[in-house]
Amino acid sequence: MLNSQYEILEGVVESLFVYDADVNYLANADRNSQTAGIVSVLQAAVGAPGAVHSAQAASDSGDPVEAFTMNVGNQAIQGSFWKTTFKNGDNVKVIGFRDDGVFIAVAVTSPVNRMIWMQPHCERGIAAQRKYLLRNSILFVLAIFILSSYLFTVPKMTLWFYLLCSSSLAVLSLILTVGMSWKDLMTFAHQMTQAGSALGIDSPEDINLVKSTSAMVKSGKPELPMGVYYY
């Protein structure tokens, strides 16, 4: 089990106040537009939730979220998720860290329902995120080759020149998207892994909230709003 940098508070939600906000979660604000763009592309490629909101994050204002303040016990808590749907009186676990006397929530869980609210883009642990990026990168490269087969239709074009052009375009595209955004994308994965470790989940690096939520919905559980998952 990994050691988590996060703490857990457990108790009843009190004095909950929810309001709309725009939050930039990306590690490097000067590359905000670029990173949010590739997050959106990768999510949309597999129909993952969050693609629309990730695209909106390409603006300097960040992600449109529902921020909140609340108390659990005597501790003041602040945070923000795509949708904040827990209520006063709910028994929750809050995962996060302390900052100047305020507890900053990275995740909130409802253990009885196996539900978790996570900060935007934090849907997969480190290992799951790498697999996700690798799979979609391969699909992206294949799409480049298929597109190239239609674009490079000069009758006298030799096979080696076609392969050179397609390979160069694919490599350049990956460098400009996944390569230059890798740090930010993996930052989200590290946050998910740390949150899972704090909760005591086995193999937190393999967490895939999109997959676990889909499986629970197929088994009969009700569908959840954007940014709320089953774990």
What's the pLDDT at 175? 63
pLDDT tens by residue, 173-229: 666 555 555 677 788 899 999 999 999 898 999 999 999 999 999 999 999 998 999
Asked whether 54 and 39 are in contact (CB, 8 A), the reply is: yes
Mean pLDDT along residues 22-46 = 51
| CA atoms of 108 and 227, how far apart (whole Å) | 11
Q: What average pLDDT does the segment 166-170 reach?
A: 69
Work out the average pLDDT over 155-170.
Answer: 67
Q: Give the model's pLDDT for residue 177.
A: 58
* In the chain, where the domains are located: 7-123+208-230, 126-187
Q: What percent of the chain has pLDDT over 70?
A: 66
Q: pLDDT tens across 115-144, in order?
A: 999 998 899 999 998 888 877 777 777 777
Q: What is the pLDDT of residues 62-85, one digit of tens each?
A: 778 999 999 998 899 999 999 999
Angle at 91 between CA 86 and CA 92, to 5 degrees: 70
Q: Read out DSSP for the chain?
A: -PPPS-EEEEEEEEEEEEEEEEE---S-GGGHHHHHHHHHHHHHHTT-TTHHHHHHTTSTT-EEEEEEEEEETTEEEEEEES-----TT-EEEEEEEEETTEEEEEEEEETTTTEEEE-TT--B-HHHHHHHHHHHHHHHHHHHHHHHHHH---TT--HHHHHHHHHHHHHHHHIIIIIHHHHHHHHHHHHHHHHHHHTT-SSGGG-BHHHHHHHHHHTTPPP--TTEEE-
Q: Which residues contact 81 (CB under 8 A, 6 or more apart)?
A: 65, 66, 68, 108, 117, 118, 119, 120, 227, 228
Q: Which amino acid is at 120?
A: P
**42: pLDDT strictly greater than 60:** no
pLDDT of residue 35: 44
Specify the pTM.
0.71
Q: Find the Cα–Cα–Cα–Cα dihedral 40, 41, 47, 53, rounded to 10°.
A: 10
pLDDT exceeding 90 applies to what percent of the chain? Answer: 48
Comparing CA positions, the residue from 150, 144, 135, 138 lying closest to residue 168 is 144
* Range in 29-38, 93-102, 128-137, 209-218 the model is least confident about: 29-38
Q: Which residue has the higher pLDDT, 184 or 99?
A: 99
pLDDT at residue 138, as a whole number: 75
pLDDT at 24: 80
Where is pLDDT greater, at 17 or 183?
Answer: 17
> What is the structure's pLDDT at 160?
66
Cα angle vertex 227, ends 21, 114, to 5°? 130
Band of residue 52 on the pLDDT scale cut at 50, 70, 90: very low
